[in-house]
Amino acid sequence: MLRGRDEVVSVRFFQPSIDPAEGLGVLVLFRLIEEAVPAFFQPDRAVQVVRAPGRLCVLGGLAANAAAALQLPIAEGACAAVQARDDDLVRLWSPCRDGSRTQLLSMRLPDLGLPSAPIDYSEARALLCADPRDVWAGYLLGALLVLAREHGLKPRHGVELLMHSDIPEGCGVASSSAITVAALRAFGKAYGVELSATELANACQLVEQRIVQSPSRHRDAATIASAQSGELLVLRGDAVAGRVQVPSDLEFVALSSGVRAAQEVVDAGGDGDVDRFLALLAAEPSAAHRQQLGEMLFDAHAGYVAAGRSEHATDFVVEQAKKRRAAGGAVLGAKATGRGGGGSVLLLGERGKVWYEALRIKKALLQETGHSGHIFRWSSPGALSFGAIELRPMGAS
C-alpha cells in the first residue's frame, strides 16, 4: 500500500528501488500497477518506471526555431511503466476516463517489421494513425519504431507498457511531447538503449512529425528531457545554452484558457527579448526591475495579438492580470504561452502570492466563459534527471 511522505513507499508485489517524491504522478502509477496484476503485469519480473514533465514557454513561443527561448518544466507529467514479455506481443494500456479514445491496444513486433526490417515512417503513419481513437498509441509505438530505425534496436521480445499522464491536453504545455519522451525512455529501459537529451529530442521530433504528424519543436522535447526542477532552460536553436534558477522572490504560474492551443507551428517573429529578460532576472531585485519584467510579458502578449495567435479567453486573462497589478495585486505580468491560439496564460508574480492571483483570475474566467481553468503552479525534474525507478518482485535479491 502507499504510505505517507516520511514512510517507505511500497507497491503490492514489488519493492521500489527508490522512493518517489509526492506530486509527480508516480504514486498514481504505482496504484495502477497494483491493480493490473496479474491481468497486465506479472508479479515475478521487474517493472521499470520513467517520467517526463510538460513545460511552460516563458518567452520565445512565436519565434523561429533558431531564435532563443525560455522554458520551464511543470509538475504535471507523463509516467510510464514497462515490463518484459516472453513472446513478441507489445501491449499498451493508457487509462482514459471519458471514453474519448481507446485504452488498450496490442501489436506484434513483426507488424512493425521488427526486429530486423522496421517499416518506414509513411507506412507506420498509415498503420498506427488510421483511427483517430488510436492515435495515442502512435506516439508510443512510433517511439519504438524510431529506436529501431535510428538507433539500431532489434527487439527480440515484447513488453507490457502502461502510460499515465496528468498533463491536461490542448493547454499548450507540450503534453504529446511529454508522452513521446516517456515512451522513448520506457522502451529504452526495456531494451537497454540509453539516449542523450539531444537524441531524445531528435527522436521525439521524428515520432511527432514523421509518424503522428503533429506539430512539435525540438526545444520542447529538449526541455522535457533535460531540465531541472525549478529552473528556466535557455534554448538557442536546438541547443541548451544555459540554466537559470527562478529568483527566490518570484514565481511563474499558468492558467488554462479553455480554448485548445493552436496546432500548427508558426514562426511569427519574436515574442520577447530573451537576453534582456535574463538580465533583468539577474539584476538587483528592485521594484523597477520587477516592473520591467512584467511589462516584457505584457508586451510579449501583444506580439501574440499582432500575429493573430490570441483568443478572447487568453486576452481576458491577460487583461485581468493588468487590472490586478494596477490594484496592487501580487502579479507583475502575463502572456499567452506556447504557440498561442488558445492554450494557457503565463503569470509572473510574487512567490507564494501570485498563486492567489491566479485563483482570483480563474474565478473571473469561469464567470466570463464558463471554463474552470487548470492552474499550473509547481515544477518538476526533466526525464533524465528523474532517472528511473525499478520495481523489483517481492523477495527478489
Contact by Cβ (8 Å): 290, 374 = no
Q: Which of 373, 314, 333, 322 is nearest to 250 (CA)?
A: 333
What's the count of helices (H) and strands (E) in the chain, helices before strands? 11, 13
What digits encode the pLDDT tens for the residues 200-232?
999 999 999 999 998 888 999 999 999 999 999
Q: Give the Cα separation of 195 and 184 in Å (integer).
A: 9
| Residue bearing the bigger pLDDT, 100 or 387 | 387
Query: In the predicted model, what is the mean pLDDT of residues 319-340?
Result: 96
Cell numbers given for 208: 511527432
For residue 270, what pLDDT is reported? 66
Kindly report, residue by residue over 109-126, the tens digit of the pLDDT: 999 999 999 999 999 999
Percentage of the chain modeled with pLDDT above 90 = 84
Residue 347 scores a pLDDT above 90: yes
What does the pLDDT average to over 98-113?
93
Strands (E), 10-116: 14-16, 47-59, 68-84, 89-93, 104-108
The stretch 81-93 carries a mean pLDDT of 97
Least confident of 13-27, 233-247, 261-275: 261-275
Q: Are 193 and 147 in contact (CB under 8 A)?
A: yes
pLDDT at 10: 67
Q: What is the pLDDT of residue 238?
A: 82
Residue 85 predicted with pLDDT over 90:
yes
pLDDT surpasses 50 at 4: no
Reported as a single tens digit per residue, the pLDDT across 143-188 is: 999 999 999 999 999 999 999 999 999 999 999 999 999 999 999 9
In this structure, are residues 58 and 70 in contact, taking their beta carbons and an 8 Å threshold? yes
Phi and psi, residue 349, nearest 5°: -165, -165
The residue-averaged pLDDT of 314-342 equals 96
pLDDT band at residue 397, thresholds of 50, 70 and 90? low
CB 354 within 8 A of CB 251: yes
Say if residue 251's pLDDT is above 60: yes
Give the whole-angstrom CA distance, residue 200 versus residue 52: 11
Average pLDDT rounded to a whole number, residues 64-91: 93
Q: Sign of dihedral through CA atoms 111, 115, 121, 122?
A: negative
**Residue whose entry in the numeric block shows the C-alpha cell 495579438:** 305
> What was the pLDDT predicted at 353?
97
Mean pLDDT of 188-195: 97
For the whole model, what pTM was predicted? 0.94
Please report, rounded to a whole number, the percentage of residues in the chain having pLDDT higher than 70: 95
Before 393, cis peptide (omega within 30)?
A: no
Mean per-residue pLDDT of the chain? 92
The answer to whether 295 and 255 are in contact (CB under 8 A) is: no
For residue 301, the model assigns a pLDDT of 95
CA distance 234 to 63: 14
> For cell 520506457, what's the residue?
186
Distance of CA 167 to the CA centre of its chain: 7
Residue 19 has pLDDT above 90, yes or no: no
Domain ranges of the chain: 14-227+381-393, 245-376
**CATH code of the domain occupying 245-376:** 3.30.70.890
Give me the CATH topology for the region 14-227+381-393.
Ribosomal Protein S5; domain 2 (3.30.230)
Query: CA quadruple 264, 270, 272, 276: dihedral positive or negative?
Result: positive
- Is-contact 291 315, C-beta < 8 A? no
pLDDT bracket for residue 237 (50, 70, 90): confident
